[in-house]
């Protein structure tokens, strides 16, 4: 098993950027027009840049790129789809719909958080930084040829705040409204003390046609193709099986600096499988062409089929320099049996990572400690003076551990049944008032302590087997509940589970995106990423400190302090992470020499291109 980014990555896309006010690069109190925005005011690319450094600006167009889903956002599933509306709670949104829309600005994936003009050619920021006035590009068009205007932007942002997926609504908390001043100008207003990254998030959201939705409800699941304006439009599809996107040959934005060299394939196709092993067989049979491998067992043992041996399938391992986030088993602390952190720590003692990594995962992973893993925001050692300044107001309200060494999961002896750790678990459960009777662990209510691990794919079952066996050794009756993807998402969104596995992703500049993960507000919001139900005043304050940080140093300090409180809460049993991307693909593509550091995956969908010579050679090698 690999990182769960293949199956359960909880990503916030472009919006997962950062944190109370934020500076447009080069803007002063007069509010001049600027071509880009970033969290701390720095931009790599000048106003007259030609293309991003990580693309091939003369990449040929053509061919097909096919893959299976590896990330998801909002209502999307990895296994299926039944709707072409991917920005609401209802339905299972189709992967790839983001390619059919444009936003005001586009990310530069070789910078932590910078954005440059797409549908908007420039922006002016008011002296109080509460109003952002975007000037639209006159050439912007929807796929039917109608003009994309400021009125469409205002409609889209206001509608998403009112009717969008709950995760969008949470992140738009500090967005007040958008008003079209004329066809070419939209003014976006934010609340005082707003989160610094909210303007960036707003600038990343899709723009819908006001005219199209004048006769249609926005918040309904539908298979009607919405009117888009992006580099692709919906092509052929079969619900639950596949969906194709066709490149718009005369796309109005194709020659903009943010687009040049990208979106090179004529067809992008997503295939859907209900089982990971079956999905691999689909790749080996050339049913799709590109695969990021998230299963260590498969990477180590199954890439020996003929097409690999004769070179028709290539494998690459690329470094992953982005924060890996936090993957683990999350306790639903809304349930009484998980409210005591001693109980949660005891359950964690029953998981033998060292045995699992060696036996199930071919030693491919390192243990996760923090939701900020693989970044400098991970807390280490005693708190710094700056961290203590943030933490001192909560002394007596949070565990004393917060003021010392941060919690690190115990290292086992690798036997699969570390007796010392199981004794520690027994001790913690006794201290929490959970006695043993007839070999069964009893809750304070007198009920037997049971745990149901909620899953939606069978290939993750081996990682639970020894864990469940060890829980039985300490009197806890545990089992796996394997359900289909639709039912799984419904139960998780309703917080109807004991323990489930998820991965929280973090950007290089986290900010307002921390709220859906950790805030008290999100704990009570259906569909939020706060699966554990964290409702901790200290966490809420530290989130605001991170959001309000005015320098990257201050942001790092706030995140480290937040990390200490989170880890002291034992809200999860941390799992594992990988520091590389494992790619396999049929040899008919070429790509730039270096992947952008902050791209999702390798950026292949956007930045690779079809290589006709390689494809012909691959066909001849059959």
Tell me what pLDDT residue 581 has: 84
Tell me what pLDDT residue 235 has: 98
Q: What is the block-wise mean pLDDT of the chain (622 residues), using blocks of 10 residues?
A: 40 35 39 89 94 97 96 89 95 96 96 95 94 98 98 98 92 94 97 87 97 96 97 97 98 98 98 91 97 89 95 90 87 98 98 96 91 93 97 96 97 96 98 96 96 91 96 97 91 96 86 89 91 97 92 94 98 91 95 84 89 88 66
Tell me what pLDDT residue 41 has: 81
Enter the tokens of residue 454. Answer: 């909620």
pTM of the model: 0.75
Q: Which residues contact 281 (CB under 8 A, 6 or more apart)?
A: none
Q: Which residues of 500-528 are buried (b: 16+ CB within 10 A; e: fewer)?
A: bbbbbbbbbbbbbbbbbbbbbbbbebebb
Domains 9-52+92-213 and 326-577 alike in fold: no
Tell me what pLDDT residue 415 has: 96
Give the residues across from 247 on adjacent strands: 232
Q: Which residues contact 144 (CB under 8 A, 6 or more apart)?
A: 227
Tell me what pLDDT residue 83 has: 96
Asked if 434 contacts 440 with a C-beta cutoff of 8 angstroms, the reply is no
Give the residues across from 331 on adjacent strands: 499
Residue 300 CA to chain centroid, in angstroms?
26
d(CA 473, CA 482): 23
d(CA 391, CA 557): 11
d(CA 188, CA 203): 10
Tell me what pLDDT residue 621 has: 67
Q: Does domain 326-577 have CATH number 3.40.190.10?
A: no
Helix (H, G, I), strand (E, B) or coil at 466: helix
Tell me what pLDDT residue 4 has: 43
Give me the CATH code for the 9-52+92-213 domain, please. 3.40.190.10
End-to-end CA distance of the chain: 31
Asked if 94 contacts 5 with a C-beta cutoff of 8 angstroms, the reply is no
- Mutual orientation of helices 552-568 and 537-548 as an angle, nearest 10°? 160
Q: Strand locations in 111-259, DSSP E?
A: 115-117, 120-125, 131-136, 175-182, 185-190, 232-238, 242-247
Of 575, 12, 541, nearest in space to 330 by CA: 575
CA distances from 249 to 39, 62, 255 (A): 34, 10, 12
d(CA 341, CA 521): 21
Asked if 388 contacts 403 with a C-beta cutoff of 8 angstroms, the reply is yes
Asked if 105 contacts 120 with a C-beta cutoff of 8 angstroms, the reply is yes
**Domains in the chain: boundaries:** 9-52+92-213, 326-577
Enter the tokens of residue 215. Answer: 């006769």
Of 251, 243, 255, 154, nearest in space to 205 by CA: 154
Enter the tokens of residue 52. Answer: 């991003």
């Amino acid at each position: 098993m690999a990182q769960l980014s293949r199956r359960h990555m909880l990503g916030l896309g472009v919006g997962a950027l950062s944190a109370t006010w934020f500076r447009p690069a080069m803007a002063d109190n007069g509010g001049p027009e600027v071509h880009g925005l970033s969290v701390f005011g720095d931009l790599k690319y000048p106003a007259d840049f030609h293309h991003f450094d990580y693309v091939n600006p003369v990449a040929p167009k053509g061919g097909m790129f096919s893959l299976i889903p590896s990330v998801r956002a909002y209502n999307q599933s990895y296994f299926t789809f039944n709707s072409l509306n991917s920005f609401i709670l209802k339905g299972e949104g189709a992967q790839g719909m983001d390619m059919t829309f444009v936003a005001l600005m586009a990310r530069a994936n070789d910078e932590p958080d910078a954005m440059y003009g797409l549908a908007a050619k420039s922006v002016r920021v008011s002296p109080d930084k509460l109003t952002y006035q975007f000037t639209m590009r006159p050439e912007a068009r929807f796929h039917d040829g109608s003009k994309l205007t400021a009125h469409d932007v205002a409609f889209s942002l206001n509608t998403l705040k009112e009717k969008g997926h709950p995760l969008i609504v949470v992140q738009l908390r500090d967005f007040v409204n958008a008003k079209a001043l004329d066809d070419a100008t939209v003014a976006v207003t934010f609340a005082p003390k707003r989160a610094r990254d909210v303007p960036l998030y707003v600038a990343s959201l899709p723009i819908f046609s006001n005219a199209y939705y004048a006769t249609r409800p926005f918040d309904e699941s539908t298979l009607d193709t919405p009117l888009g304006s992006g580099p692709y439009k919906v092509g052929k599809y079969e619900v639950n099986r596949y969906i194709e996107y066709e490149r718009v040959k005369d796309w109005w934005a194709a020659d903009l600096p943010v687009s040049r060299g990208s979106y090179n394939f004529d067809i992008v196709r997503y295939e859907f499988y209900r089982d990971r092993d079956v999905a691999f067989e689909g790749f080996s049979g050339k049913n799709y062409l590109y695969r990021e491998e998230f299963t260590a067992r498969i990477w180590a043992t199954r890439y020996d089929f003929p097409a690999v041996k004769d070179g028709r399938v290539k494998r690459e391992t690329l470094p992953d320099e982005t924060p890996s986030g936090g993957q683990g088993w999350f306790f639903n602390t809304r349930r009484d049996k998980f409210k005591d952190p001693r109980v949660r720590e005891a359950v964690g003692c029953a998981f033998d990572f060292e045995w699992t990594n060696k036996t199930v995962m071919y030693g491919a992973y390192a243990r996760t400690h923090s939701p900020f893993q693989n970044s400098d925001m991970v807390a280490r050692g005693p708190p710094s003076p700056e961290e203590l300044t943030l933490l001192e107001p909560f002394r007596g309200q949070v565990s004393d551990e917060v003021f010392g060494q941060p919690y690190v999961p115990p290292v086992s002896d690798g036997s699969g049944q570390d007796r010392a750790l199981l004794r520690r678990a027994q001790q913690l459960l006794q201290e929490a008032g959970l006695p043993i009777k007839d070999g069964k662990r009893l809750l304070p209510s007198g009920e037997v302590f049971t745990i149901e691990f909620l899953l939606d794919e069978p290939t993750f079952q081996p990682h639970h087997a020894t864990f469940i066996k060890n829980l039985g050794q300490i009197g806890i009756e545990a089992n796996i509940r394997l359900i289909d993807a639709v039912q799984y998402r419904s139960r998780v969104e309703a917080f109807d589970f004991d323990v489930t596995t998820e991965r929280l992703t973090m950007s290089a500049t986290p900010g307002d995106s921390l709220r859906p993960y950790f805030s008290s507000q999100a704990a009570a919001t259906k569909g939020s990423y706060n699966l554990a139900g964290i409702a901790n005043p200290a966490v809420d304050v530290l989130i605001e400190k991170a959001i309000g940080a005015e320098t990257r140093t201050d942001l790092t300090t706030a995140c480290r302090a937040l990390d200490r409180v989170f880890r002291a809460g034992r809200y999860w049993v941390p799992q594992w992470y990988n520091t590389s991307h494992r790619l396999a693909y049929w040899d008919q593509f070429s790509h730039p020499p270096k992947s952008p550091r902050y791209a999702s995956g390798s950026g292949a969908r956007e930045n690779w291109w079809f290589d006709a010579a390689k494809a012909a050679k691959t066909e001849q090698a059959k």
